[in-house]
Amino acid sequence: MPTSPTRAATQPLAVLFACGLNSVRSPIAAGLFAQMFGRSIYVGSAGSRKGELDPFAVAVMAEIGIDISRHKPITFEELDDLEGLNFDLIVTLSPEAHHRALELTRTSGADVEYWPTVDPTDVEGSREQRLDAYRAVRDQLMSKLRQRFARPRPVNE
């Protein structure tokens, strides 16, 4: 009996990851996504406001062989001016970004999904404790990406 396609089976052509400052969570998510899907699905990232790329985010991505050191934080508005907001799916990682994405997509066909993700910049402690918080965010996002964008496996005969 045929089943209807699941959301995970319906792959978007372009995905935008968004957070508050586009300096930690969304660049990590976009870097992981690009590593997983290469150029088969366009990926971008933006923030509600503009921050500076966080060196801890760069460090925890380098640990797994992904270089995000050239990422330049950008706002939704700057992205819209540069290339437009032509995304099938916007994944928001913070409440602020989620509200902004919903405002921007009122008249578009883009889907918006909210993946609540802790801001690791709030963690205090030693360098290692802070890095652990960033690793936890990276690993959570990797897991969520695998779940959400898993490609259907071919059925063995």
Instruction: Give the chain's domain count.
Output: 1
Which domain covers residue 39, as residue numbers? 14-148
Cα–Cα distance, 56 to 86 (Å, whole number): 30
Check: CB of residue 71 under 8 Å from CB of residue 57.
Answer: no
Q: Each residue of 80-89: pLDDT tens digit?
A: 888 878 899 9
Is 79 inside any structural domain?
yes
- Bridge pairing between strands 42-47 and 89-92: unpaired
Q: Residue 39: in which H helix or E strand, if any? A: none
What's 95's domain CATH number?
A: 3.40.50.2300
Q: Specify the DSSP class assigned to residue 120.
A: G
Token representation of residue 134:
């960033």
Is 74 inside any structural domain?
yes
Is 5 inside any structural domain?
no
Q: Each residue of 65-112: pLDDT tens digit?
A: 999 999 999 999 999 888 878 899 999 999 999 999 999 888 888 899
Q: Specify the DSSP class assigned to residue 75.
A: B
Is 101 inside any structural domain?
yes
Check: CB of residue 141 under 8 Å from CB of residue 117.
Answer: yes
Alpha helices in 4-126 (DSSP H): 25-37, 55-62, 76-83, 95-104
Is 7 inside any structural domain?
no
Is 155 inside any structural domain?
no
Token representation of residue 69:
């050191």
Is 19 inside any structural domain?
yes
Q: With 70 as the cut, is the pLDDT of residue 3 above it?
A: no
Q: Each residue of 8-53: pLDDT tens digit?
A: 447 899 999 999 999 999 999 999 999 998 888 999 999 999 999 9
